[in-house]
Amino acid sequence: MLAVAGFLGAGKTTLLNHLLRNGRGARIGVLVNDFGSVNIDAMLVAGQVDAMASLSNGCICCVAEDGEVAEMLGKLAAVRPALDLIVVEASGVAEPPAVARTIMTADSADFHYAGLVLVVNGCEPQFGHGLPVADLVVLNRAGETTDFDDVVARIRAQNPRVPVQPTDFARIDPTLLIDVPERAPQAQLSFDELLHDEHDHEHPVYQAVEYTTDDVLNPRRLLALLRDRPEGLYRAKGFVDFGKGHRYLLQLVGGSLRLQKRRGTGTQLVCIGTGMDTDEVRAALHACTTEPADENAILGVHKYVVQ
């Protein structure tokens, strides 16, 4: 479950509609604060809205007490076939820290908070209180930004390691946020594909680092690495092997880490981000194999394990 926040006019709805149009094969649910603030016609043209809910008072961070957020998210999580992604679009007046806190409070076995995407208008950059808690910054209208380096420096001053994704028209590659399922080829282009032909010519701007080893990882060192992630690292997924009986499926999105026990041996990880030093990421992962773990090192893993 992904939260999208930012000031009015930053490009939140543009980003949401872009994901709906271009998340080919992904089933996406949307929780919006106010139907009036979202271009419903554009969503219908996109043809990718699989479920939608809205909050009655238009501000997600004001309804934590009555459980309305948990109720709405629960309804979306119960949709069948299951959704691949739920996007919570916060109103422009909502405080991002409060949005994150509200969603985390509503967390359940059916859904979990997977990070905050902060959309910033590069021509009129306003960060508010959201930057320190952001897991990904989408710097929109980057092509029109005359002082791009200065804006990035201001972001880094408040959140040194957050991935910063420059965009125009909020055209972020959906694969940075979600594993897009393969879809069956179509005999002819849909109306939406004709309108948005540029999608077929875009190339990924994110980076992916693959790491495979048969050596056992030191869980304490890996957890420390994921807590203090290399600059630009946003997601990680795959299998990690901490020794006999301790192999896990790992899913990291922003600051949210989840582990599920799995059989087998060996580590196979993919790290995804933007602006990463790929050699640094590989070296940091390799360093997790060079120091044997003590018998208590595995204890830190347990709080991240889900059934």
Note the pLDDT tens digit of each residue in 105-155. Answer: 776 777 778 889 999 999 988 887 889 989 999 999 999 998 999 999 999
pTM exceeding the 0.85 threshold for the entire prediction: no
73 and 165 share a domain?
yes
Q: Retrieve residue 265's tokens.
A: 């041996």
Residue at which a domain ends, from 201, 221, 255: 201
Q: What is the pLDDT of residue 17?
A: 84
80 and 216 share a domain?
no
46 and 138 share a domain?
yes
Q: What is the pLDDT of residue 22?
A: 81
217 and 127 share a domain?
no
Residue among 71, 133, 114, 174 at smallest CA distance from 306: 114
Q: In which residue ranges of the chain is pLDDT below 50?
A: 35-37, 39-47, 56-58, 62, 64-65, 183-204
Residue among 305, 15, 8, 277 at smallest CA distance from 171: 15
- The position carrying tokens 């590659």 is 173
Residue among 186, 197, 177, 188 at smallest CA distance from 251: 177
Residue among 118, 123, 103, 98 at smallest CA distance from 158: 118
pLDDT in tens, 220-248: 999 999 998 889 999 999 999 999 999 99
**Phi then psi dihedrals of residue 223, to 5 deg:** -65, -40
182 and 43 share a domain?
yes
Residue among 251, 272, 90 at smallest CA distance from 165: 272
In residues, how long is the chain? Answer: 307
Q: How many CA atoms lie within 13 A of 243 on its CB side?
A: 13
Residue at which a domain ends, from 201, 230, 247: 201
216 and 193 share a domain?
no
- Domain range holding 212? 207-304
115 and 231 share a domain?
no
User: Distance (Å, rounded) from C-alpha 136 to C-alpha 60?
Assistant: 20
Q: What is the pLDDT of residue 182?
A: 58
Domain total in the chain:
2
228 and 254 share a domain?
yes
Q: What is the DSSP string of 131-200?
A: GGG-SEEEEETGGG-TTHHHHHHHHHHH-TT--EEE-STT---GGGTS-PPP-PPPSS--HHHHHTGGGG
Residue 265's Cβ-count burial label (10 Å; 0-12, 13-18, 19+) is exposed
Helix 96-105 / helix 68-77 crossing angle, nearest 10 deg: 70
User: Distance (Å, rounded) from C-alpha 217 to C-alpha 204?
Assistant: 30
Q: What is the DSSP string of 25-75?
A: T--EEEEES-GGGS-HHHHHHHT-EEEEEE-TTS-GGG-TTTTHHHHHHHH
Residue 243's Cβ-count burial label (10 Å; 0-12, 13-18, 19+) is middle
Pairing of strands 233-241, 116-121: unpaired
**What integer best gives the mean pLDDT of the chain?**
80
112 and 237 share a domain?
no
